[in-house]
């Protein structure tokens, strides 16, 4: 089905430009210069996406967005303005905007944003649409190959509708074109490299290389060689000259993961590179100009390391021009069904089993889980579930035992002050059957009885 987009702007030139870009991409477009007329049209016919100017004479874009979202929560809204600021973008995304686009914009920016917004809407509807029926959370396949989001040939897409993720996406879009150094902080598995890749893809360096290096994976000597390269004969075995990552990433972005674990001597060398925009290879003497953007990431508190003397303050200020803090998955629980669906569709495309749904009971269990390993742990859980699942829907019994144990620990008897032993037993067996998805072998194992005894108790209590 062709996506239907409504655009609103009191500037005729902008309106025509947007309409031309979108119709060329095959979208169905309705254009309005009057926001009240546009709102009446949307209320009468609905649409997939709204693109609206912020400052208009009779109604501002934020007010229009609020009214649209109240009536059609799944309709995405992109706001455009000639007076963009990070504060304004954050506020707009908190209120529900998919993105806050600054004028003047390019056709590529519009195409990418519209594509991403429609993918998110499709993914959310696929997940929430079936879950509304009470049976499953599923949907049609979405292209992509990334854990935290998805990646097409141009732009990584971060999956999520929570306010914290919308803020992250908004900040990425605002700071990516500036070429400033960025530090991404967040727990392991929260998607720091994907965010770095998204910054690169939205920057002026998008056509250049994106290279990643883990500062905690190698010793000092190897880090020196990997980042700076070496000249022929610099050390035993150096039979040819080698280009380091700082040179190889010329015109692009170098992502330094776990930078908090970088040895002090390497911190000194990196600081000089950032200050002078040049480097000297190991064993060399000639300065080599470089043109690279540094995006770093860490799961440790670098500010505390600075205060403790373990990390150089001057380097910290150089690499932390803008800080993006990623939320853990436990802070964005409403994104779990979307991510679960996305991961399932990706596993299916890899050639796995034809499983495209997660039972609502399993989704509820995942939402209540703490996820210390964040999105990476969710992926591992679902990959395991797909491997052991014998049906076309992932059930609670397909999830790891520790998740089920977590739910068991949360069991609370009914509020009645007094219950007979039989009533308590009936309630607990009913609770276990819900957790295990009705799998009697698993329920009997948890109760410590055989299957025949469980069957007799279920018959006694009329539990199915």
Determine the Cα–Cα distance for residues 31 and 8; give it in Å rounded to an integer.
Answer: 6
Q: Domain 421-460 is in which class?
A: mainly alpha
pLDDT over 90 percentage in the chain: 31
Counting Cβ atoms within 10 Å, is residue 52 exposed (0-12), middle (13-18) or buried (19+)?
buried
pLDDT in tens, 141-185: 223 333 344 433 345 668 887 888 888 988 998 898 888 999 999
- What are residue 405's phi and psi, to 5 degrees? -60, -35
pLDDT in tens, 415-441: 656 677 777 788 888 877 776 767 788
- Would the pLDDT of 29 be above 90? yes
Label residue 463 by pLDDT band (50, 70, 90).
confident
Contact 290, 278 (CB under 8 A): yes
Q: Domain 139-162+329-410 is in which class?
A: mainly alpha
Contact 346, 338 (CB under 8 A): no
CATH fold label, 4-105: Rossmann fold (3.40.50)
Considering the chain, tell me which residue range(s) the CATH 1.10.8.60 domain(s) occupy. 139-162+329-410
Considering the chain, tell me which residue range(s) the CATH 3.40.50.300 domain(s) occupy. 171-325
Q: Is the overall model pTM greater than 0.95, yes or no?
A: no
Determine the Cα–Cα distance for residues 341 and 337; give it in Å rounded to an integer.
Answer: 6
Label residue 462 by pLDDT band (50, 70, 90).
confident
Label residue 339 by pLDDT band (50, 70, 90).
confident
- What are residue 128's phi and psi, to 5 degrees? -80, -30
Alpha helix (H) ranges present in 293-400? 302-307, 313-319, 336-349, 360-368, 374-388
Considering the chain, tell me which residue range(s) the CATH 3.40.50.2300 domain(s) occupy. 4-105
Considering the chain, tell me which residue range(s) the CATH 1.10.10 domain(s) occupy. 421-460
Determine the Cα–Cα distance for residues 124 and 138; give it in Å rounded to an integer.
Answer: 9
Q: Domain 171-325 is in which class?
A: alpha beta
pLDDT in tens, 220-234: 888 998 999 998 888
């Amino acid at each position: 089905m062709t996506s239907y987009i409504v655009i609103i702007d009191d500037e005729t030139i902008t309106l025509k430009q947007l309409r031309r870009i979108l119709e060329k991409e095959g979208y169905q477009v309705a254009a309005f210069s009057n926001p009240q007329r546009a709102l009446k049209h949307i209320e009468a016919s609905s649409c997939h996406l709204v693109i609206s100017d912020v400052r208009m004479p009779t109604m501002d874009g934020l007010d229009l967005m609020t009214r649209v979202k109240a009536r059609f929560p799944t309709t995405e809204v992109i706001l455009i303005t000639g007076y963009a600021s990070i504060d304004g973008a954050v506020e707009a995304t908190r209120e529900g905007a998919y993105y806050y686009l600054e004028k003047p914009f390019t056709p590529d920016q519009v195409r990418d944003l519209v594509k991403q917004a429609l993918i998110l809407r499709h993914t959310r509807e696929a997940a929430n649409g079936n879950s509304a029926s009470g049976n499953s959370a599923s949907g049609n396949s979405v292209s992509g190959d990334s854990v935290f989001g998805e990646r097409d040939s141009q732009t990584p897409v971060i999956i999520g509708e929570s306010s914290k993720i919308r803020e992250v996406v908004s900040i990425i879009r605002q700071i990516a074109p500036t070429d400033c150094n960025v530090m991404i902080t967040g727990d392991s598995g929260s998607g720091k490299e994907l965010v770095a890749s998204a910054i690169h893809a939205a920057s002026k360096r998008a056509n250049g290389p994106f290279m990643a290096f883990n500062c905690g994976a190698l010793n000092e000597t190897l880090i020196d060689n990997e980042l700076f390269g070496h000249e022929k004969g610099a050390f035993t075995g150096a039979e040819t000259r080698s280009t380091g990552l700082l040179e190889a990433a010329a015109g692009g972005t170098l992502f330094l993961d776990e930078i908090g674990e970088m040895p002090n001597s390497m911190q000194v060398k990196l600081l000089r590179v950032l200050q002078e925009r040049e480097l000297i290879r190991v064993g060399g003497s000639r300065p080599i100009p470089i043109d690279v953007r540094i995006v770093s990431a860490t799961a440790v508190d670098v500010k505390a390391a600075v205060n403790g003397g373990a990390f150089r303050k001057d380097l910290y200020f150089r690499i932390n021009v803008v800080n993006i803090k990623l939320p853990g998955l436990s802070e964005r629980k409403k994104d779990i069904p979307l991510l679960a669906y996305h991961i399932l569709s990706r596993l299916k495309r890899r050639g796995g089993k034809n499983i495209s749904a997660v039972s609502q009971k399993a989704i509820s269990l995942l939402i209540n889980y703490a996820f210390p390993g964040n999105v990476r742990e969710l992926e591992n859980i679902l990959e395991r579930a797909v491997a052991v699942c014998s049906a076309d829907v992932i059930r609670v019994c397909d999830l790891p035992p520790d998740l089920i144990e977590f739910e068991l620990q949360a069991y609370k008897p009914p509020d009645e002050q007094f219950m007979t032993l039989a009533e308590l037993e009936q309630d607990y067996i009913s609770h276990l059957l819900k957790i295990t998805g009705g799998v009697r072998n698993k329920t009997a194992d948890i109760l410590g009885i055989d299957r025949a005894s469980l069957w007799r108790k279920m018959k006694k209590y009329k539990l199915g």
